[in-house]
Amino acid sequence: MATIYEVSKAAGVSLATVSRVMNGNVKVSDRTREKVLKAMAELGYKPNSIAQSLASNRSNSVGLLVSALHGSFFGNMMSTVEDVLRKAGKHVVITAGHSDEQQEKNAIEFLLDRRCDALILHAEAVSDEYLLELSQRDVEVVLINRRIEQMAERCFYTDNELGGYLATKAAIDKGHSDIAYISGPLFKQDAKERLEGHKRALREANIAFDSELLIEGGFHEAEGAQGYLQLTAVNKPFTALICANDEMASGAMTAARERGVRIPEQLSVVGFDDVLFARYLYPKLTTIDNPIQKMGNGAAHWVLEHVYKQKKPHQHINLFVPKLIMRDSLVAPA
Amino acid sequence: MATIYEVSKAAGVSLATVSRVMNGNVKVSDRTREKVLKAMAELGYKPNSIAQSLASNRSNSVGLLVSALHGSFFGNMMSTVEDVLRKAGKHVVITAGHSDEQQEKNAIEFLLDRRCDALILHAEAVSDEYLLELSQRDVEVVLINRRIEQMAERCFYTDNELGGYLATKAAIDKGHSDIAYISGPLFKQDAKERLEGHKRALREANIAFDSELLIEGGFHEAEGAQGYLQLTAVNKPFTALICANDEMASGAMTAARERGVRIPEQLSVVGFDDVLFARYLYPKLTTIDNPIQKMGNGAAHWVLEHVYKQKKPHQHINLFVPKLIMRDSLVAPA
DNA sequence: AATGCAAATGTAAGCGCTTTCATGGTTAAA
DNA sequence: TTTAACCATGAAAGCGCTTACATTTGCATT
C-alpha cells in the first residue's frame, strides 16, 4: 500500500504538499496539485486513516450507544445515524448497553477508549450526573430520547407525556371509559412520562385513575402478555388497553386472543412507537408515532455541525412531537 | 490524558517496559510490573488505541456489512457479532449495502479505508469474482449466508435448499397439494435455493410444479401482499402459500385477510427465517428457523481465531441446518 | 571471586500522517 | 531598481505507541 512518502517522491514535491492537497485547507498551486493528484492516481494511493487520526487527533468516528442492536426501535435509529454520518465520511461504532447501568458505562468507556470524537447516546440506566460529568470530558455528547436541562441543546427527544396523552385520549374519544394501562419500567423517564400523559387524559375526561388497572411492564412482548393476564385477574372489566410500547401491545393482544377475547370488538388496544411491525399485526395496531429516525437524524447533524464544523445551516429541532396513528385495533366499545 | 511516557517516568522504567506490561506478551519481573501498574492506576492511564493501531499495524476493528441496519434478520446477526467481538476488545464498524452492487462495493471500500483487520460480509449483490479478489488483499474476509467454493471454510451459511424443502414438505404432510409459492428475488442465491427446495418437495410428492403458482417477490412485506393478489388473479385455487421469508408471509396474510380469507382455515401460510415477530403474528407463523445468530457467532469466532490468534479451540461449523418451526398458520386443508 | 548465560530492561527507530515554522520566489508598490 | 509583502513550498518535529536490537542485571557454576 502506497504511503504519502511515495506519492511525494513520485510527484517531486514534499510530504507536506501532498498532505495539503489531500486536505484542501491550504492553498496549493494548480500545477502542483495536478502533479500530486496524478501521482496519487497512478499509485492507487489511499490515505491511512489511522495515521491521520493519530497526527490530527481526530478519529473521525462517532460512538453510538443503543439499548440493543436488534429490535425495530433501534434499527431505525441506527440506520439513520449511520447513513448521515457515513455520507460525511465519518464512521459509527455501535455498542449496546442493554438498559443496564454497568453495561452502559462499560460501553461508554469502550467508545471513549476508541477515541470517538463524539458520542450519541440512548442511555437509559446511567444517571444525569454521570452524563453531565461525561460531557465535561473531551468528547462531545449528544443524547437521544432523554432531556437534561443543563445540556438541553444536545438532547433530542419526544414529548412522551403528550404521546401518552394522545394514546389514552384516542380511546376516550372513541367512547371508552374503562381503560387499563401497561406501562414501561418506571425507572425509565420515558415510561414515566407516558404514564403521566395517560393520567392527564383521564383527568381531563373526569375518569378516576384506578391503580388496579395499571401494570408496570418492561417494554418486552412477554410482559405485555403477562400484564394482560394480571389485569384480568383483578376482575375489573376494561374495554381498552393502552400499552407503553408496541411490543407489549402485541404480547397483550396475543394473550387476550388466546383467552378467546376478540380484538378490537371486545378489547381495543393502543401501542406506542409505531415500529415497523405494528402494521403487520392483526388487527393493525393503532399506535403513537415516535419519530425515532428524526431524532437520530437530528443528533447526527448536530455532530456534523458542531464537531466536524460542517456548516450546512441545519435547523435543529430538539423536541419532537408524537402523533396518533389510527389503525384497526381501536374502535368504539361494544 | 496521560501517555505511556508519563507512566514510564512515574514508574521509573522505560517506555518499552510499560508497553510490555500492557501487552503481556514479553516477560516482565513481578516487581517491575507492580510499579508500572501502580503508576498507571495513579495516572488513570488509558492506552491510545489509535497510536497502538498505527504502531502495530492492527486496527482491532472488524468491518461488518449487512443489507440494512433495521429489520429483524440483520438485527440478530449484528447483535451476535458485536457481542462476541466486543468481549474480545475488538470493535465493529457496521455498514449497509442495501443489496445494491455499487453500494456494497462502496461500503467495502469504506471498511478497507478504515483499515479493518477483517471483514464479515453479508454481500448479496457483488459477484463471486469480486469477493475472491477481495480475499486476496490484506484483509481476511468471511462470508455470511453465501458459499463460494474456493473460500469454503470462511463461509457460514444455511442449507437454504433444505429449508425450502422443509417448508413445502410440511404443507404436503398436512395434506395440501395445491401450493403456491412467493419466492425472493431470484438473482439472490438464497432465494434461488429455497425455490429449488420447494420444487424438490413437490417432485417427491408427485405434485407437478405449476409456474402460475410461483411469484417472484423481493423479500419485503409489500411484495408478499402484492404477490398474494397476483396469485389470486390467476384463478387457480390453492390451499397453502409458502413464502420465502417471514416479511412476505406477513404481507400475504394481511392481504388475504383483507380479502376476507380466514387463516389458517381457508389458507395455510408458511414463512422462512423465524424472525422475532413471526410469533407476534396472528395466527402465529409456521416458519423455518434460519439460524442467523449462529452464523454470526461462527463468523465472529472464526475472526477471533484466525485474525487475532485467539486459541480457544472453537469447532467451526460452516453449514447450518434449518428446522421447521410449527406454529398456527399451517393446518390441514378444509 | 570470576565466568557465562539467560532473563529483564533499555534504546531508538519507525508506523504514516499533520502542522508549525522557515525559506525562497513573485509580485506590486515605491 | 529596490524593498516590502505575500504566497507557495519544504524541512522537520511531533502524535503515542510497538518492537528489533543492544545492554544490563541476576544467578548458577566453577
A284 occurs within a structural domain: yes
* In the predicted structure, residue B205 carries a pLDDT above the cut 90: yes
Query: Mapping DSSP to helix (H, G, I), strand (E, B) and coil, where does residue A108 land?
Result: helix
Spell out the residues 6+ positions from residue A206 whose beta carbon is closer than 8 angstroms to its own.
none
Q: Across the interface, which of A96, A138, A282 has its CB nearest the CB of B282?
A: A282
Residue B334, in any domain of the structure: no
Is residue A334 included in any domain, yes or no? no
Question: Is the same domain home to B9 and B96?
Answer: no
Between the two ends of chain B, the Cα-to-Cα distance in Å is 73
Contacts with B53 from chain A: Cβ below 8 Å: 50
Of A129-143, A252-266, B300-314, the one with minimum mean pLDDT is B300-314
Tell me the CATH number at B23: 1.10.260.40
Residue A84 in grid coordinates: 448521515
Computed over every residue of chain B, the mean pLDDT equals: 94
Determine if strand C comes within 7 Å of the CB of A150.
Answer: no
Query: A325, A166 in Cβ contact below 8 A?
Result: no
Question: Which of B22, B70, B109, B248 to mutate to probe the A interface, most A CBs <10 Å?
Answer: B70
Which protein residue's Cα is closest to nucleotide D15 at C1'?
A: A55
Q: Provide DSSP, B121-188.
A: E--SSS-HHHHHHHHHSSSEEEEES---GGGGGGEEEE-HHHHHHHHHHHHHHTT---EEEEE--TTS
Write the pLDDT tens digit of every residue in A85-103.
Answer: 999 989 899 999 998 999 9
Q: Give yes or no for CB of B19 within 7 Å of strand D.
A: yes
Instruction: Tell me how far apart the alpha carbons of residues B199 and A217 are, in angstroms, rounded to a whole number.
Output: 46
pLDDT value at position B276? 82
Q: Test B86 with A95 for CB contact under 8 angstroms.
A: yes
Nucleotide nearest to B17 (CA to C1'): C9
Kindly state whether residues B182 and B282 are assigned to the same domain.
yes
Adjacent-strand bridge partners of B92: B62
**Structural domain includes residue B326:** no
Average pLDDT rounded to a whole number, residues A313-333: 92
Question: Is B54 within a domain?
Answer: no
Q: Answer yes or no: do B128 and B146 share one domain.
A: yes
Give the model's pLDDT for residue A138. 85
Residues A233, A262, single domain; the answer is yes
Give strand letter and number of the nucleotide nearest B29 (CA to C1'): C8
Within this chain, do residues A172 and A279 fall inside the same structural domain, yes or no?
yes
Together in a domain, A174 and A285: yes
The answer on B152 and B91 residing in a single domain is yes
Measured in angstroms, the CA of A260 and the nearest CA of chain B are apart by 13
Find which nucleotide's C1' atom is closest to B56's CA. D18
Q: What is the pLDDT averaged over residues A12-32?
A: 92
Whether residues A220 and A314 fall in one domain: no
In this predicted structure, what is the pLDDT of residue B315? 78
d(CA B194, CA B215): 13
Q: Give chain A's mean pLDDT.
A: 94
Beta strands in chain A (DSSP E): 61-66, 91-96, 118-121, 140-144, 155-158, 179-183, 214-216, 240-243, 268-270, 287-289, 319-320, 323-325
The percent of residues above 90 in pLDDT, for chain A, comes to 84
What digits encode the pLDDT tens for the residues A269-283?
999 999 888 888 889
CATH number at residue A133: 3.40.50.2300
Query: Looking at the structure, do residues B211 and B273 belong to the same domain, yes or no?
Result: yes
Q: How far apart are CA B191 and CA A69, in angstroms?
A: 26
For the cut 80, the answer to whether the pLDDT of residue A8 exceeds it is yes
Strand partners, A14: none
Show the domain range for B306.
59-158+292-320
Instruction: Classify residue B12 as left (phi > 0), alpha (psi -120 to 50) or beta.
Output: left
The neighbour count for residue B226, using CB atoms within 10 Å, is 19
b/e per residue A23-32 (b: at least 16 CB within 10 A)? eeeeebeeeb
State residue A25's pLDDT score: 84
Sign (positive/negative) of CA torsion B170, B174, B178, B182?
Answer: negative
* pLDDT bucket at A315, cuts 50 / 70 / 90: confident
Q: Which one of B54, B96, B221 has the shortest CB-CB distance to A54?
A: B54
B86-131, pLDDT tens digit by residue? 999 899 999 999 989 999 999 999 999 999 999 999 999 999 999 9
- B271: nearest Cα among B170, B199, B203, B187: B170
Cα A195 to Cα A189: distance, rounded to the nearest angstrom: 10
* pLDDT exceeds cutoff 90 at B201: yes
Check whether residue A67 and residue A188 sit in a common domain.
Answer: no
User: Is strand C in 7 Å reach of the CB of B55?
Assistant: yes
The distance of B144 to chain A (nearest Cα, Å) reads 18
pLDDT in tens, A99-125: 899 999 999 999 999 999 999 999 999
**Could you read off the pLDDT of A43-85 as tens digits, one per residue?**
999 999 999 999 999 999 999 999 998 877 888 899 999 999 9
* For the segment 44-63 of chain B, residues whose CB is within 7 A of strand D: 45-48, 51-52, 54-56
Nearest residue to nucleotide D14, by CA–C1' distance, is: A55
- Give the strands of the sheet with B214-216, arranged side by side: B214-216, B179-183, B240-243, B268-270
Is residue B328 one of the residues assigned to a domain?
A: no
Q: Which residues of B300-312 are buried (b: 16+ CB within 10 A; e: fewer)?
A: bbbbbeebbeeee
**What strands lie across the sheet with B91-96, from one edge to the other?**
A319-320, A155-158, A140-144, A118-121, A61-66, A91-96, B91-96, B61-66, B118-121, B140-144, B155-158, B319-320
pLDDT band at B313 (very low <50, low <70, confident <90, very high): low
Q: How many domains, in total, are found in chain B? A: 3
Bridge partners (DSSP) of residue A65 are A95, A121
Tell me the count of A-B CB pairs closer than 8 A: 116
In this predicted model, which residue has the larger pLDDT, B276 or B288? B288
Residue A115: predicted pLDDT:
93
Residue B325 corresponds to which cell in the numbers above? 418451526
Which nucleotide across the nucleic acid strands is nearest to A55, CA versus C1'?
A: D15
Q: Other CB atoms closer than 10 Å to residue B31's CB: what's the count? A: 8
Instruction: Render pLDDT for B57-82 as a digit per residue (tens, 0 to 9).
Output: 999 999 999 998 887 788 889 999 99
B136-179 pLDDT, tens per residue? Answer: 988 999 999 999 999 999 999 999 999 999 999 999 999 999 99
> B49 contacts in A (CB within 8 Å)?
113-115
Angle separating helix axes A15-23 and A4-11, nearest 10 degrees: 110
What phi-psi label fits residue A76: left (phi over 0), alpha (psi between -120 and 50 degrees) or beta? alpha
Which of B91, B120, B276, B293 to mutate to probe the A interface, most A CBs <10 Å? B91
Q: What is the dihedral of CA A307, A308, A311, A312, to 10 degrees?
A: -90
Average pLDDT value for residue range B315-334: 94
Pairing of the two strands B323-325 and B287-289: antiparallel
Chain D, protein-covered positions (CB within 7 A): 7-20
- Mean pLDDT on B293-309: 93
Q: What are phi and psi of A223, to 5 degrees?
A: -70, -20
Q: Which of the residues B48, B77, B94 would you substitute to probe the A interface, choosing the one with the greatest number of A C-beta atoms within 10 Å?
A: B94
Contacting residues of B for A70, CB less than 8 Å apart: 72, 75-76, 78-79, 276
Are B70 and B178 in the same domain? no
Query: Which whole number is the average pLDDT over B275-297?
Result: 91
| pLDDT at position B316 over 90 | no
Residues A110 and A141 in one domain: yes
What pLDDT is recorded for position B309?
83
Considering the domain boundaries, does residue B329 fall inside one? no
Residue A53 covered by a domain: no
Angle at B292 (CA atoms; ends A218, B167), nearest 5 degrees: 105
Instruction: Determine the pLDDT at residue A311.
Output: 72
